[in-house]
Chains A and B, each alone.
Chain A
């Protein structure tokens, strides 16, 4: 049972445009959400997070939106750059549970020139 779902395996966006990556979750106990970025042959690296008490968190070109009623979050990258080409994982956890993260299956983003 996949508790965190990323239904788009891949996404292609032109440089300078907006990239929108989506994530859905089913476990209503999740109260903290994170996005990780992964390049080939490297470990995932943290990108941005959001607590369930917020509906938006912004960090430079990256913004995460959380819709708790829909159990949906999205990552917006504006403007997209070629260096953003990577696999993006959405993750969720319940605060106080030893930071055990449940990951989605990932979305491969390709930013084209």
Chain B
């Protein structure tokens, strides 16, 4: 199994509070991604990173920010959580450009915003 750890695995929070989800990898892969999974939508890309301090937006980036200060860690922050951000969040990793293949996913973080 790819060495990907997401924390916390479950979180319940109130509307308007900040939330940070962490993804930690031990594979030294260059690319890291945050996806959210919602019924009827599949998995949608929020943000991704192609290196330390290099990030870019995905298709559903509004309301989210990310940071990557080390190769192994990719943080997803909801500055002010809303009920529409209740979802299951998955981190994924990939060796990077020139690699045509699958992403390796973490086990997910279930976030409930009340």
Could you tell me which A residues sit within 8 Å of B by CB distance? 4, 6, 32, 34, 36, 41-46, 49, 51, 89, 91, 95-96, 98-106
Contact = CB atoms under 8 A, between A and B. Distances in A.
A41 B9 CA distance: 10
> Is chain B's interface secondary structure helix, strand, loop, or mixed overall?
strand
A100 B33 contact: yes
* B contact residues, range: 20 to 34
B106 A43 contact: yes
A32 B98 CA distance: 13
A98 B48 contact: yes
Contacts of B43: 44, 89, 91, 101, 103
Interface of B: 4, 31, 33, 35, 40-45, 48, 50, 56, 58, 90, 92, 94, 96-97, 99-108
B32 to A, nearest CB: 10
A98 B96 contact: yes
Contact of B50 (A34, A42, A98): A98
A44 B42 CA distance: 11
Given A32-B100, A89-B42, A95-B100, A43 B48 contact: no
Given A44-B90, A44-B105, A45-B105, A99 B99 contact: yes
Contacts of A102: 45
Contact of A49 (B33, B101, B105): B101
A49 B101 CA distance: 8
B51 to A, nearest CB: 10
A103 B42 contact: yes
B45 A105 contact: no
B42 A100 contact: no
A51 B42 contact: no
Contacts of B56: 98
Contacts of B100: 32, 51, 95, 99
